Structure 1
Amino acid sequence: MRLPGGTISAVQLHALADAAEACGDGDLHLTSRGNVQLRGVTRPGLAARLTDAGLLPSPSHERVRNVLASPLSGVSGGLADVRGLAASLDLVLCSTPELAALPGRFLFAFDDGRGDVASEGADVCWRATGSSEGTLLLAGGDTGRRVARADVVAVLIEVALEFCRVRGAAWRVAELDDPAWRGTPVPRTGFSMPAGLIPQDGGGYAAGVVPRFGQLSATQARALAEFGTALVTPWKSLVLPDVPPDVFARLGFGGEALGTTACIGRPGCAKSRADVRADAVFRPGLRAHFSGCERRCGKPSQSYVDVVAEAGGYRIDGRWVPLDEMEGKL
């Protein structure tokens, strides 16, 4: 389920929890594009449930509704408030017939100036340089083109339409040979999503929720829905604005960000060579991604220790290590 800007209402979160139990494996799986997956779907009725919850607004454009936005924008920090831009873009995107032809990997982003989603490899991104102006990035490169916040939705749609016209067999902007689609590379910021209570600029607290492997049970999802609208981040976590600290503490999610990530592994994926989530090593400060095969599904965009399953063990940054020695080699 694509969630432009990561926004999901309490009603929709409840609906997904119900759908996970009725049709899937009972869990909600957060993705590295700020979306939610339901896995193990073997029972009918899912599409009707999602449509009723407003999560499938345009079947013709569903695969191209890929939009990131800085999840802490308007909550804590940032140069500009990008809230609402993703929803506005989604409306125009879904009402533009030609854009149904965009490749399903094409990614839009709105960065509030802190550099968080600008580092996520979007094909076209507006990164704020002030409260009402920003710069246009293509495939992570700064084009030097300055765009007012008021015009940004129209400009990103214009870029997407032009990409459709010139792309040929390319799926992403980075695959185009034309130098006109290049910009000056922008360094990554090394942004890290906070966990636990986050002081809000306007007073009170938000909360960063970082579930292990980005996986929420239906029961946990319903508990989070009691706080109202949530924001799913590209780092398999959530932001809950306006959270009473004492109530959040009773949920037991803790306040430490988890640096270890993993693909779904066995038994959820037939291509995986191991149950990587059972084998994963957790240690404070360790940033590692465990993969069941060379596809490395769900890998983070920031630097990490690369751990890939092989027979009897794992290859860690290219070095083979037996399973019983994993703890000491990471």
Structure 2
Amino acid sequence: MLAAMSASPLPPRSPDGAQPPSSGDACPGALRLHRADDGALARIRIPGGVLTSRQATALGDAAGRLGDGELHLTSRGNVQLRGLDPGSGPELAGVLDRAGLLPSARHERVRNVVASPLSGLDGRGTMDVAPWLDEVDRLLCGSDRTTALSGRFLLALDDGRGDVDALGADLTLIGHHTGALLRVGDGDAVLRLPASEGPRAALTAAEAFLDTADATPRPDETGERRSDGETRPARDGFWRVRDLPGDAVDALHAEVVRRLRGAGVPFAAVSRPRPSGAGAPAHGPVTGNGGAASLSVGVPLGRLSRDQWERLSAAGPLRLTPWRGVVVTGLGAGRLRSLPGELAAAGLITGPGSPWSGVGACIGRPGCAKSLADVRAQAAAATGPVGRLPVYWSGCERRCGRPSGEWIDVVAVPGGHRISHVRGDTTGRPVTVGDDPAALAAAVAAARDTRT
């Protein structure tokens, strides 16, 4: 079973209270709060989404005592606390440190690691990624070089089922019957190596990325168009592998090979396995590994009230998923029978057929000044029968928190909403619907059931 990494003492802050050096991006963290319209925001990185009951309780207490009482799940299995007083940072840091959630102040924003949430629980996959998760986090926090990683850089640990392999991480370790597969970026070329060498190879690749990015000339100050359609100002540097130009990506792959060979790590270049199509865990009981059972729970719009969080925290250790869900682990047979009804009564999703399945949204108004609409309320008004494709509502063109893979993209624009079918890097012809709730709901439902 995935286990939370044991934490070392939090390094002391400098006498003037300065934050650790940043990599130049503005991603919030646990020690760097972001000012929003509804107060300050903290983003707590939780590698693999793994929380003990004690850690989950500490987060809930912090949300209730320092914030607005709610906990927001992100598309990387992390937690955001909102409505914080801007001066609450030191107290929040102390709470997280005592709970073992801040093993390194210098690395807290770079601990972006997602893992197959059902690994070791349902008998699927080729391996349990728990040892990888602990070792990857230990290596990240033990490297001075990785403090330069952006808060957006993402590592994925896939147990072979293909779920988090589809999330477009910068580095992906995939369990395979022959060992481990390392993928750098989103291409199909992978390196096969012993499973025990997977974490060290991932750290090697992360450090190689930083050196390659440093050696790559920046475009001119007009910025450049990224593969996801956004324009990134040149001064922001290269935060992710996909930000690098093509020749730099090739240089990165060659550098990873050179460093692994120099470190004596045996490897072979192979083709990436055909994606299995696995995605978010189905909501409901999880069995199949011969021991205690688990429960996969959906969270409407990824937002948990204090009561909902307390119910989950009291039920058992948690795994937060990149699909804004929660897996409650370590359940006995009796608890597995009673818990789904209790959580469903509290407004959570514990089985198939919920109209909230596959529906996501950014914070929107009134929490975000850039948003053009209260997209969470609009998403709620437009819920209906479960669609074939997930849908994500965004209040502006930034589309914060949008998913990867295939989904229906609904973006608020002046006078209405733009609806598009996104599949990887390809976006279909958009349809714009005016400010008519009924027409918007119908258009979104039709788009979610598209077969093209």
Per the alignment, residue 281 of structure 2 pairs with 193
CA distance in 2, matches of 1:184, 1:172: 22
Decide whether the 8 Å contact of 2:212 with 2:251 is kept in 1.
Answer: no
Question: Residues 36-185 of structure 1: matches in 2 within 5 Å?
Answer: 36-42=79-85, 44=88, 45-76=91-122, 77-130=124-177, 133-168=179-214, 169-176=237-244, 177-178=247-248, 179-181=250-252
* 1:328 counterpart = 2:451: no
CA distance in 2, matches of 1:246, 1:199: 12
The answer for unaligned runs of 5 or more in structure 2 is: 1-43, 215-236, 254-269, 421-429, 445-452
Identity within the alignment, %? 42
The letter of the residue matching 1:191 is: G
Per the alignment, residue 206 of structure 1 pairs with 294
Which residue, out of 267, 282, 292, partners 2:383?
Answer: 282
1:207 Cα offset (Å): 0.7
CA distance in 2, matches of 1:302, 1:146: 24
The letter of the residue matching 1:329 is: A
CA distance in 2, matches of 1:246, 1:274: 40
Q: Size of the alignment, in residue pairs?
A: 329
- Report the more deviating stretch, 106-115 or 84-93: 84-93
TM-score, normalisation: structure 1: 0.94
Could you report, residue by residue, the CA deviation over 1:102-158 in whole angstroms, capped at 9, with x for unpaired residues?
A: 12211111110011111111111111112x602111112243421211111111111
1:175 Cα offset (Å): 2.9
Could you report, residue by residue, the CA deviation over 1:296-324 in whole angstroms, capped at 9, with x for unpaired residues?
A: 11111121111111234211222221232
CA distance in 1, matches of 2:203, 2:147: 12
Per the alignment, residue 323 of structure 2 pairs with 235
Decide whether the 8 Å contact of 2:189 with 2:272 is kept in 1.
Answer: no
Per the alignment, residue 343 of structure 2 pairs with 251
Per the alignment, residue 20 of structure 1 pairs with 63
* 1:314 counterpart = 2:417: yes
CA distance in 2, matches of 1:190, 1:327: 28
- Report the more deviating stretch, 137-146 or 226-235: 137-146
CA distance in 2, matches of 1:39, 1:200: 37
CA radius of gyration, larger in:
2
Moved over 3 A (4+): 180-188
From the superposition, tell whether residues 203 and 110 of structure 1 become closer, same or farther in structure 2 (CA, over 3 Å): same
Could you report, residue by residue, the CA deviation over 1:36-58 in whole angstroms, capped at 9, with x for unpaired residues?
A: 11011126222221222121221
1:59 Cα offset (Å): 0.9
CA distance in 1, matches of 2:125, 2:158: 9
Higher relative contact order (CA 8 A, sep 6+): 1
CA distance in 2, matches of 1:218, 1:302: 31
CA distance in 2, matches of 1:187, 1:327: 35
* 1:106 match: secondary structure: coil
The answer for unaligned runs of 5 or more in structure 1 is: none
* 2:360 match: secondary structure: strand
- Report the more deviating stretch, 257-266 or 306-315: 306-315
1:246 Cα offset (Å): 2.2
1:184 Cα offset (Å): 6.0
- Report the more deviating stretch, 206-215 or 42-51: 42-51
CA distance in 1, matches of 2:130, 2:49: 11
Per the alignment, residue 266 of structure 1 pairs with 365
The letter of the residue matching 1:82 is: V
Decide whether the 8 Å contact of 2:190 with 2:272 is kept in 1.
Answer: no
- Report the more deviating stretch, 40-49 or 26-35: 40-49
1:187 Cα offset (Å): 5.8
CA distance in 2, matches of 1:207, 1:106: 30
RMSD: 1.9
The letter of the residue matching 1:283 is: G
1:185 Cα offset (Å): 7.0
TM-score, normalisation: structure 2: 0.69
CA distance in 2, matches of 1:53, 1:163: 32
